[in-house]
Amino acid sequence: MIELRRLTKRYGDSVVVRELSLSVAKGELLVLLGGSGSGKTTTLKMVNRLIPPSSGEVRIDGASTDGLEGHVLRRKIGYVFQKIGLFPHMTVADNVATPLSLAGWGEERTTARVTEMLEMVDLEPSIAQRFPRELSGGQAQRVGFARALAAEPKLMLLDEPFGALDPVTRDKLQQEFLAIRRRLELTAVFVTHDMVEALLIADRIAVLKEGVLVQVGTPRELLDSPADEYVERLLEMPRRQARTVAELIAGPPDEPAATREAQGGGAPP
């Protein structure tokens, strides 16, 4: 569905994405993971031509996007980007409705859909008539996510779509997203720097380091055979956290009775 062939982006002398080759199958969720500045956003924006590649090619559905106008391409692809926010002069409802009017939906159907989408991302109906400046960061992010999904695109690009959310909302939206993408057979590239999030949602994870692809594989493959020390290090934190949490949940090991006696503890309640 998406194929990157030796995709490269240079700014002056610095190469920020280097000869990246990668393909994403229909219905697959590929996570692009890497530290800050590793080229994730740049890669994603080259897919829908918000950034023109310096060299290499992006193919979508078997056809090169070289000759395509960026806006034509972007109409087919849903996207949520880190900094490209909502249209500031439009209400929340109008923001979410934008892809629907572009797709020619009628008024009634659009209104119903907007309500449904806002509900899905846990936003109060009263928020629909507010403007983006009147929202919190997490609320704005949810509106962006609702807008990207509203017209049920077949292809989606998401750049840290849940970065500003509290853990409970984040978990809910991750689950929601997984359900939606199965239902729609959505093909998606999802950027995050959070390895836990990647392990939880990815079919495959592509690890970028300084613009170079260091490994691509299923979460299992990464855990079983990390390609290098960098990938190993990225996995260290989720491993340690998982162990600590598992231990806490399991509770303290049984103390021998003699120890309790000696501490004057007696029988537990």
Where along the sequence are the contacts to Mg ion (CB under 5 A)?
Answer: 41
Q: Which residues bind ligand ATP (CB under 6 A)?
A: 11, 16, 34, 36-42, 82, 193
CB of 81 to Mg ion, least distance (A): 9
Cβ proximity to Mg ion: between 41 and 65 the closer is 41
* Among Mg ion, ligand ATP, none, residue 77 binds (CB under 5-8 Å by kind): none
Q: Smallest distance, Å, CB 240 to ligand ATP?
A: 22
Shortest distance, position 187 Cβ to ligand ATP, whole Å:
20
Cβ closest to ligand ATP, residue 38 vs residue 95: 38
The residue among 32 and 201 lying less far from Mg ion, judged by its C-beta, is 32
Q: Which does 36 bind (CB under 5 to 8 A by kind): Mg ion, ligand ATP, none?
A: ligand ATP
Take residue 119 and report the two structure tokens written for it.
Answer: 């509900």
Cβ neighbors of 143 (< 8 A, separation 6 or more) are: 86, 92, 95, 96, 118, 121, 123, 127, 132, 135
Q: Which is nearer to ligand ATP, 16 or 120 (CB)?
A: 16
How far apart, in whole angstroms, are the C-alpha atoms of residue 247 and residue 86? 43
Comparison of 77 and 100: residue with beta carbon closer to ligand ATP: 77
Query: Least Å distance between CB 209 and ligand ATP?
Result: 10
- Nearest residue to Mg ion on Cβ basis: 41
